[in-house]
Amino acid sequence: MTTRVLVINSGSSSLKYQVVDAADGDVLATGLVERIGAAGGVITHEVQGEKHVLDRVVPDHDAAMAAMTEAFADHGPQLHEVGLIAIGHRVVQGGEEYGRPVVIDDDVVRVVTELVDLAPLHNPANLAGIRVARAEFPDLPHVAVFDTSFHSTMPARAYTYAIDAEVAREHRVRRYGFHGTSHAYVSREAARLLGRTPEQTNVIVLHLGNGASATAVRGGASIDTSMGLTPLEGLVMGTRSGDVDPAIVFHLARTAGMDIDDIDDLLNKRSGVLGLSGRQDMRDLVAAAESGDAAAEQALDVYCYRLRKYVGAYTAALGRVDAVVFTAGVGENSAPVRARALEGLSVLGIELDAGANAAPDRSARDIATPGSRVRVLVVPTNEELEIARQAAEVVSR
Ligand code: ADP
C-alpha cells in the first residue's frame, strides 16, 4: 500500500495541486492552474524537475480540473498508476463543526456550504474544487483538511469576542483562526529541531506570507492565534490591515460615504503594507526602505512593531516559550523583517544572532545567539505535505 495523496488547493482564481507521498514527503508532481475565469489561463505542470507551461482558456473550475488531468495524462505521472490512496482538499473554514479532517460525503458538502457565510471569499472556491474532483475521481476517498481545525483547541477566553453573547451565538461570531495546517506542521517541525516532543514544547509561530498570522502553541496545541472570524484580524499583511479599531468602519460609513463593500475592499485589499506604501511584496518594500523611501520605511516599521507586540502578548499567554518560529515567504526569507520584529526583546530572553539571521540558508535552522534563553527558528512550511499526512491518517483509520 502506498501513502500517496493528490492534494488540491482550489482558490477563486487558481487551482494548486501536488502528488505527494505522505510518508516521506517525496513530491511526484506539482502544478498550478492560474487565471481561472479570466480571458487567458496558464497551466504550469512540474514533474521530475521539468516544467511544462500551457496556455489555455479556463473559464471555470470544471475546466481547471480538466486541464489538470490532461497535464497528468500528457506529462505524467499517470494518476491511475501512482497508487493514490486519497485526495486531500484544503478547506479554509470548518467552523465549530470540524476540529479535525473528515472524509467528504454529501453531508460534509452540505455543512461546508452552510459555512460559506463565514468565509464568502474562500469556501465557495474550495467547494467548487471538491465538486469537480469528486466527479472526476469517484472511486477515491476525498478528505477535507480545514485551515481552522488546528485552532479548535483554543480556550473560550481566547476565541470569544466581548460582544452580546446572544448575537455572537446566533451568527457564529467568534475567533476561528486560519493557516492551521501551516501552524500544525511548523510547530511540530520546530519541536523536532529542538529535540523534544511536541507535547513538551511551547512555541510562537509567525506565519508571514501574503496573509500573516501568529499562533501560540502550547504542548502541540494552539491556545491563541491572531486571525479571527476571518483572516483579516491580527498582523499587518500584504494588503490586509490586521487589527484596527472596528469603529473605523462606522466612521468611514458616516463621513466618507463608503458602503460596506467599499470598506471590506479597503481593509482586505487596499490596506496592509500595500496601503501604507504602494508596495505589497516584502522584497520591494525592504529595498525601498533601505534606499530612503519614507513611506516604505514606515510601512516596515508598522509591520514589524505589530509582530513584536504579538510576540510579547503570546509570551504572556504561554508563560514559558521555547522558541519563536518564522515561516512562509516573508518569515523564511526576510532577515531584515526577522531582525526588526525581534528588536529589543532580550528582556524576554529572545536574542537573535545577526550573522546566523543574515546567512543565506534554506533549511530549518536556529538563528538565536548561543546564550539566548528562547530559541529563534526558521522552519520552511509545507502545507501540501501536512494536508497529505492528515488525509492519509484519516483514510488509514
Ligand atoms: P502566500 O500567502 O501567497 O502563500 P507566501 O508564503 O508564498 O505567500 O509568501 C509570499 C510573500 O513572501 C511575497 O509577497 C513576498 O513578500 C515574500 N517573499 C518571498 N520571497 C522573499 C524574499 N526573498 N525576501 C523577502 N520576502 C520574500
User: How are strands ordered across the β-sheet holding 50-56?
Assistant: 50-56, 41-47, 27-34, 15-21, 4-10, 84-91, 142-146, 102-103
In the numeric block, the cell 508532481 is attached to: 29
| Cα-to-centroid distance, 338 and ligand 1 (Å) | 13
Does pTM surpass 0.85? yes
> What number does the ligand 1 atom closest to the CA of 212 have?
2
> What number does the ligand 1 atom closest to the CA of 286 have?
25
- Catalytic-residue membership of 147: yes
Helix (H) or strand (E) holding 251: helix 247-255
Residues with CB under 6 A from ligand 1: 209-211, 238, 281-283, 328-330, 333-334
pLDDT in tens, the chain (397 residues): 789 999 999 998 899 999 999 999 999 999 999 999 888 889 999 998 999 999 888 999 999 999 999 999 999 999 999 999 999 999 999 999 999 999 999 999 999 999 999 988 889 999 999 999 999 999 999 999 999 999 999 999 999 999 999 999 999 999 999 999 999 999 999 999 999 999 999 999 999 999 999 999 999 999 999 999 999 999 999 999 999 999 999 999 999 999 999 999 999 999 999 999 999 999 999 999 999 999 999 999 999 999 999 999 999 999 999 999 999 999 999 999 999 999 999 999 999 999 999 999 999 999 999 999 999 999 999 999 999 999 999 999 8
| Cα-to-centroid distance, 61 and ligand 1 (Å) | 26
Q: Are 307 and 240 in contact (CB under 8 A)?
A: no
- CA distance linking residue 215 with residue 348, whole number of Å: 17
| Percentage of the chain lying above the pLDDT 90 cut | 94
Asked if 4-146 and 196-383 have one fold, the answer is: yes
- CA distance linking residue 263 with residue 240, whole number of Å: 12
Fold of 4-146: Nucleotidyltransferase; domain 5 (3.30.420)
Q: What is the pLDDT of residues 74-132, one digit of tens each?
A: 999 999 999 999 999 999 999 999 999 999 999 999 999 999 999 888 899 999 999 99
- Residue 225: beta bridge partners? 215
Domains of the chain, residue spans: 4-146, 196-383
Alpha helices in 179-246 (DSSP H): 180-193
CA dihedral 375, 380, 384, 385 (to 10 degrees): -60
| Cα-to-centroid distance, 366 and ligand 1 (Å) | 20
Q: Which CATH number fits domain 196-383: 3.65.10.10, 3.30.420.40, 3.20.20.150, 3.40.91.10?
A: 3.30.420.40
In the numeric block, the cell 514606515 is attached to: 298
